[in-house]
Amino acid sequence: MANGSIDLDEIAARATHIEVACSRCERRGRYRLSRLVARLGEYFPITDFGSETADCPRQNATATERCDVYFPNLVKIMTGIDQITKPRASPDDDDHY
């Protein structure tokens, strides 16, 4: 883990593929981690993945329109937790949504 980022080798030790998506458009994909490690190196930080590999037409747009890469299955790969759930509301809670 370089500078607090998860490296490709850490992910590849737990999974064979990683899902990639953009929060601003419909683009989605899946990459084989062994190929990514061979191409980018085992210590490549996942935080740099979008800028290094994305061929999105929005990559150089303004900050609010720019491609926004995220990894839908990364939490599950790294923790084994399938889904993040919100805590249940309690009558004693101060905040009510």
pLDDT in tens, 5-49: 899 999 999 999 999 888 888 888 899 999 999 999 999 999 888
pLDDT in tens, 62-89: 777 777 888 999 989 998 887 655 555 5
DSSP string of 52-96?
A: HH---TTTTS-TTTS--EE-TTHHHHHH--S---PPPP-TT-S--
